Structure 1
């Protein structure tokens, strides 16, 4: 089961702390702020007599599906010393036998109705909660009933048999094994200081190996009985189903759960204050990345948002975050960037009861102190000089643009994206007013928010006490570790150091200073079957678009032209491969990356050019209102990509910082070595990026080759899918695309000449000190392309994944996760790739490899069971039905059909093709291609 524990990235969006307002003047806006934040009228919130809370909402996207969640307000923080890891273990046990579903029956049934284990059916355990995730069909009464029955069983009908408990120990221990490594070892150093004096420091949800191996059956049963009770539970149901039916189901299934006679108090554990600054410095020889973090914990408990004034305070803090992070982005894109990535935010911590202002940066191994200095100085700069008006205006535009997009798409939001806010409302009293109210209230409140009150927040955020500084990174020869003395010296010097005021440079108001001479549309064929229109442009280019109503505020864009780096010489390829991603760092049309970010404030638009192995490409997206800007950016990427060696060097510096110790991580090293072995003798293999390869990158050559690859705009096929104004598409296509040079080059890519060895190979790679291994089994076969074979290969991967989970995880208890995947591609030559991958203990490698291959042989000899074919077909049908209503599905498949010369109309023939797919087709593919000539790669620890 996946884990969701608060992370630094999540903190960006958890702006829940509040400051008291001090202005005593009574204004109209202050009268507004005295009101209460309402509850969205679209959601029904209720409570049963036994204390269980429920949230219900009718939502039609996707059709015929309802998202169910069982939320338990108890996690690892509630465990006794004898129960370490058992909150998470209990989560596992709910999939291993209940009153109405015997062991494995639950997963088996859900797979049969198209609910995929792991991808759809899932759960997570955190410090403070456990949440179960179950999407089910809503158009079938029987399936709907069983879905609610499963949720009820999780709540109070888990059997917890001794056999099932012992069988799951191995799976959870394998999950724990996955977590072993540098990050886990360093966390043991810094977590006790980050969560100083609190229970959170020693209640990680995964628990301990010792306890997972030795806990008694009664220990886990006691946890279940104590904390799985209705007054600590909520059921969330959001989907394509009327509220009355959902409410009736909840009453039928959950009203009968009895209250506890003597319920144990659900404690709220504090994060105590401390007077000093705590510093944690942790290093590890296997650490791949270097990071620094400063955490200023509040002195007071995290309050809840209840009034409009509270909401206004959150807006102020959101604006602060946008402003400070815009400055950090500018630093990141500077000539000598002090970090690879950096951000600051005010929000939650691991503890519900405490918020904090935090600044974070990822640095080079040698640049930790410099990165720490940079984020501290930016905070100090704000403290001394505040923000500026132009910055403030851009931040407001950006905030409103994002809210407007959410508002415009309010009736097209997927149910799985809605349930989270109701979960947070139950667990943390987070407000749920709905996007209509938020958008309207934000527009009312923004004009009255002053720049000074945003700037002044920093005075409350920064303090010497309750502060924690965490530094983590590699440990290797020649690298001098940062010391606590150096950190404290830096903190002292900061108070008296000279810091310049931030200078905000204005940017021009127009992206294109000179409009191009328009071209024309010479033809406009349509495909009635697919609902697409193609514009043939005067320069030879084609624009295919499909107008949809799947989202109100979304247009997706892609484009390609055949060729790519396949047309480079071997020497050119190696000199430019790792430079290509840095070309766009220079900006376009004379605007730097920082200038572009400023110009695009308030716009929802992005365009990214790229050069791949067999094509040059564009990808992007825009809100309909910003579609012209998207076309303008495409035009400039063809005609006016800046050449800026300083910007490129900044990119190289960041890449080298990121890559500085990458190969110390055993998993990265394993993949790198396998790639080298498979490509032995391949003159065009470039492999993983390294510092040496980045240093050898030839910017001038890469830029020249970019100009060459994008010289013929008439060789491109552009795709647009979304809420399009067709007249605007035609207008912009003529103005910004047809005006580009078309040379009728009609280039084709050059197919790869290299072929992997068609023979059995076994390679054992030794790396790492932890008792953990990884297995990769791969078949690569050159073969003719056939769409039916392509489907059979992919379906075989799905079936084999089911069998491997049953055998290696459920029966052997030897893995946490295992999967198989098969694909057939026409680029650059028609070939199949089929793989099996899983992590495990070193002592189990041979046994599990044999077991995995035995499952392959079983399919070859005995075929695929009707039950497994039903599972895979149903999963495919459910996904296809949903995919048909997404812009991403259409743009990906339209482009792929063109790029791989497939029949685009086949997009709509999937159901018929799937119906024709037989178990014998999968068996034939297995027999024909999964032979003894496979590549076996095994990662083993160095001690083995």
Structure 2
């Protein structure tokens, strides 16, 4: 498993954590396989004479595109003391001049063919590796050739001129500035304990300010010459091109790189064992969140998954993670939750050589010990009593369903989602057997995995040695800080506590216990331009479906009805705004969230209702086989949403814990204060949620208003896009949608009466002790809606972003990132919003604001160059070519056209409209709307 930060782990767990976690089965199969894990026959793996490894796969989604990666098996862990931060700095330098692309030429060229810097073209550096990311068109031989030339240049043709090195120092120092803050300060305390006794503790990839300012030209050149060599590199090429062509390109470009003479050994750095429990407690006045983490590092070094027996062991470990996290999820949804969220997993640490079992929780500021007790107790409960068969059966069903979905979509997976596994194979020896092998092998293995061996893992995971416990959180008046003594005492208390076995309560097997009387379909209308069909139901509701073949096992679902919060009185809005998010936490049809989790085992379907500013909505998705479950859930959210004070109070408790110290963070505080300033006089302004506002949230009124908002299904429009069976959808629509009450209310939203001031205003917020500033420049104006104006405003944002990067980043070296964005929306009234945003040093604010506004004035005066207009157009056309073959694009476009009363057929004219866009139109909207009446918001450090 990859080396993960806490945040990354949270995200991965949401998506079924690690390799093989989404695998399960209740079936019997053929004989249990043995031997080595094979390599996917769809990928060609080779090695050149100079030692460079390559991976190639033909994959047709998206069309006419190849994903290229250059993986360098060296990162910050390889740096000398004089080179700290230079592995990452070297990554930057590869975009700042190579043999075949002078400074800025590379980004300029890629923008001209529709590849966006940052969004498409990118790279990252970690402790152990550096990876470069380049998507390139495959249908143009010249562009394809240049793509391979670029990654060849990254491998061995970087020029590293003194001028370019000095020019990039400011950019990297600005990136370092972005990382300053509470998390960085607390990490200085916790990392030495987490990575105790290892080189990783003092080799963070960003480096140090002192070294970045003072390193010599030879320091970075030495790093490049030592570690950028073919025996430490892999090239990955996956995309819509035949394998032979890609392989020949790799050979042509990389075979000529000479093998390193007397290469420096690439060391594998260890994470030493320790007998004692290490405790690190860090607090900070600007910390927004409180977290606890218990890490049990393995005693032995990590071994790669090579054999089928290894693979089976990974299944057992990941089933364990699923089971323990199901229990922690139940605890999170309990009446008095001990944490905002909690989860456990077995996997990698920052060090490649060491795996660990970790339990993590986010808590309230004063609830760290309670959260720690909870995760320790759940681990202890498993240690004493193990898991139960029903838990394992459900986990296997769910894991198999997820794996089956991947298997069904195996010929529709995007190239960008394939390349990562080949990089991981090269860097970490992770297996690449392919989804067909995983699916078939898992079905054969999973049935033989017993509850005993899953439960037994806890004894290998948990031990007194190699244990590290970290606590991070706010420091504020009245808050008693946890001590190391408190933590060690708590460990003993849990070990000796009276802990009862887990009770696994069964749930019913049907979602709807009383089937409603079906309605009918009154009419069906087909739109041949868009390939959609719209059914009007007997209660007035409409259901639009678009059948696609973009994914085999995906149906996306959305629905909306006009009205939303705009139909609430000012008093009702303020009383319920922060209660609405907790309504669905009560569950449906008498089933709690925990019950629903059990019921949904083995099913792929989800639906979430919401009440937004100007509409009530549903959003969800399902595998085609589980579409009826989705429809049943929608029906129940209309008719049988539970009202449960205990569940709502649990929601409020978690929200208060999450929000408790949010305003200590300078960025959140800046956003809050800026919104308050811009909304002076707005009686419907709710602002950021706070613990006090959560306490005032009126659940009874929110539930009553929810029932009102969802009382009439007749003014809802439902959308389904994906691999839908039209006859099946029609049957489900009659049974579960047409059977809902239709009251012919025909509600419309009420436009906002409040308008922000259209005048110049400078608003400065002083918050935070780090030398960090944030600048937002915003223009807003009410105008009639016009599609051409909307496109011109969007294009102005793209063009201005290009110019601001050139000026503020490349020329001034004053920012790491900068962006501009223009929109024109019809909801709730037609208004232009245009903004420029960037972080920088406080000493540079005035200079960079002037420079940014100077770029605006240049466009107003001189217009947009043909080259920049061509870049924007190509970016739009390349993106649309891919987007139009995704379900997400279609469902969002259809919904937006309906909501904003736009002819949906116009989306098919997009290419024509882009090609017709002129530089004069972009200049005109700049002249008309980017005037002297703007809101300038600036975050500055607190004054001493």
User: 1:152 maps to what in 2?
Assistant: 152
What is the SS of the residue equivalent to 1:606?
Answer: strand
1:616-635 paired onto structure 2 within 5 Å: 616-635=616-635
User: 1:8 maps to what in 2?
Assistant: 9
User: 2:24 maps to what in 1?
Assistant: none
Shift, 1:34, TM fit: 3.4
What is the SS of the residue equivalent to 2:724?
Answer: coil
1:584-603 paired onto structure 2 within 5 Å: 584-603=584-603
Shift, 1:943, TM fit: 2.9
Q: CA offsets per residue over residues 188-212 of structure 1, 9 Å max, x none? A: 0000000000000000000000000
User: 1:377 maps to what in 2?
Assistant: 377
What is the SS of the residue equivalent to 1:524?
Answer: strand
User: 2:270 maps to what in 1?
Assistant: 270
Shift, 1:442, TM fit: 0.4
Structure 1's 119 and 933: CA in aligned 2 closer, same or farther, altered over 3 A?
Answer: same
On the 8 A contact 1:17/1:302 being kept in 2, the answer is no
CA distance in 1, matches of 2:4, 2:897: 37
1:259-408 paired onto structure 2 within 5 Å: 259-408=259-408
Q: TM-score, normalised by structure 2?
A: 0.98
On the 8 A contact 1:14/1:346 being kept in 2, the answer is no
Q: CA offsets per residue over residues 576-607 of structure 1, 9 Å max, x none? A: 00000100000000100100011001111100
On the 8 A contact 2:33/2:441 being kept in 1, the answer is no
Q: CA offsets per residue over residues 839-874 of structure 1, 9 Å max, x none? A: 000000000000000000000000000000000000
CA distance in 2, matches of 1:813, 1:421: 35
Shift, 1:371, TM fit: 0.1
On the 8 A contact 1:17/1:303 being kept in 2, the answer is no
1:525 equivalenced with 2:525 (yes/no)? yes
1:124 equivalenced with 2:128 (yes/no)? no
Moved over 2 A (4+): 3-18, 28-34
CA distance in 1, matches of 2:17, 2:226: 30
CA distance in 2, matches of 1:29, 1:466: 40
Shift, 1:907, TM fit: 1.1
1:78-93 paired onto structure 2 within 5 Å: 78-93=78-93
CA distance in 2, matches of 1:172, 1:228: 20
1:535-934 paired onto structure 2 within 5 Å: 535-934=535-934
CA distance in 2, matches of 1:194, 1:562: 52
What is the SS of the residue equivalent to 1:525?
Answer: strand
CA distance in 2, matches of 1:576, 1:469: 39
User: 2:935 maps to what in 1?
Assistant: 935
CA distance in 2, matches of 1:796, 1:14: 40
CA distance in 1, matches of 2:19, 2:721: 37
CA distance in 2, matches of 1:861, 1:496: 76
CA distance in 2, matches of 1:31, 1:576: 59
What is the SS of the residue equivalent to 2:50?
Answer: coil
On the 8 A contact 1:56/1:243 being kept in 2, the answer is yes
Q: CA offsets per residue over residues 41-80 of structure 1, 9 Å max, x none? A: 0000000000000000000000000000000000000000
User: 1:242 maps to what in 2?
Assistant: 242
On the 8 A contact 1:16/1:304 being kept in 2, the answer is no
On the 8 A contact 1:17/1:346 being kept in 2, the answer is no
Q: CA offsets per residue over residues 808-833 of structure 1, 9 Å max, x none? A: 00000000000000000000110010
Q: Which runs of 5 or more residues in structure 1 are unaligned?
A: 19-27
CA distance in 1, matches of 2:271, 2:574: 53
Structure 1's 459 and 333: CA in aligned 2 closer, same or farther, altered over 3 A?
Answer: same
CA distance in 2, matches of 1:830, 1:62: 35
CA distance in 1, matches of 2:448, 2:416: 35
On the 8 A contact 2:20/2:318 being kept in 1, the answer is no
What is the SS of the residue equivalent to 1:684?
Answer: coil
Structure 1's 32 and 550: CA in aligned 2 closer, same or farther, altered over 3 A?
Answer: same
On the 8 A contact 1:16/1:303 being kept in 2, the answer is no
What is the SS of the residue equivalent to 1:71?
Answer: strand
1:195 equivalenced with 2:188 (yes/no)? no
On the 8 A contact 2:20/2:315 being kept in 1, the answer is no
What is the SS of the residue equivalent to 2:627?
Answer: helix
User: 1:414 maps to what in 2?
Assistant: 414
On the 8 A contact 1:425/1:432 being kept in 2, the answer is yes
Q: Which runs of 5 or more residues in structure 2 are unaligned?
A: 22-27
Shift, 1:16, TM fit: 7.6
On the 8 A contact 1:11/1:345 being kept in 2, the answer is no
User: 2:460 maps to what in 1?
Assistant: 460
CA distance in 2, matches of 1:136, 1:76: 28
User: 2:25 maps to what in 1?
Assistant: none
1:460-479 paired onto structure 2 within 5 Å: 460-479=460-479
Q: CA offsets per residue over residues 664-683 of structure 1, 9 Å max, x none? A: 00000000000000000000
User: 1:480 maps to what in 2?
Assistant: 480
CA distance in 2, matches of 1:904, 1:206: 47
Root-mean-square deviation over aligned CA pairs: 1.3
CA distance in 2, matches of 1:908, 1:495: 65
CA distance in 2, matches of 1:401, 1:461: 27
User: 1:167 maps to what in 2?
Assistant: 167
User: 2:45 maps to what in 1?
Assistant: 45
Shift, 1:493, TM fit: 1.3
On the 8 A contact 2:32/2:444 being kept in 1, the answer is no
User: 1:22 maps to what in 2?
Assistant: none
On the 8 A contact 2:31/2:444 being kept in 1, the answer is no
Q: CA offsets per residue over residues 674-722 of structure 1, 9 Å max, x none? A: 0000000000000100011000000000000000000000110000000
What is the SS of the residue equivalent to 2:411?
Answer: helix
CA distance in 2, matches of 1:702, 1:9: 30
CA distance in 1, matches of 2:11, 2:689: 29
User: 1:423 maps to what in 2?
Assistant: 423
On the 8 A contact 1:17/1:347 being kept in 2, the answer is no
CA distance in 2, matches of 1:688, 1:31: 58
Q: CA offsets per residue over residues 709-766 of structure 1, 9 Å max, x none? A: 0000011000000000111000000000000000000001100000001110001100
CA distance in 1, matches of 2:9, 2:191: 13
Shift, 1:8, TM fit: 3.4
CA distance in 2, matches of 1:36, 1:677: 64
Shift, 1:5, TM fit: 6.0
CA distance in 2, matches of 1:634, 1:909: 34
Structure 1's 143 and 404: CA in aligned 2 closer, same or farther, altered over 3 A?
Answer: same
Shift, 1:251, TM fit: 0.3
Shift, 1:14, TM fit: 6.8
Structure 1's 209 and 444: CA in aligned 2 closer, same or farther, altered over 3 A?
Answer: same
CA distance in 2, matches of 1:605, 1:482: 42
On the 8 A contact 2:752/2:828 being kept in 1, the answer is yes
CA distance in 2, matches of 1:229, 1:569: 67
Q: CA offsets per residue over residues 774-831 of structure 1, 9 Å max, x none? A: 0000000100100010000001000000000000000000000000000000001100
What is the SS of the residue equivalent to 1:296?
Answer: strand
Q: TM-score, normalised by structure 1?
A: 0.98
Structure 1's 192 and 14: CA in aligned 2 closer, same or farther, altered over 3 A?
Answer: farther
On the 8 A contact 1:73/1:233 being kept in 2, the answer is yes
CA distance in 2, matches of 1:466, 1:597: 34
On the 8 A contact 1:11/1:347 being kept in 2, the answer is no
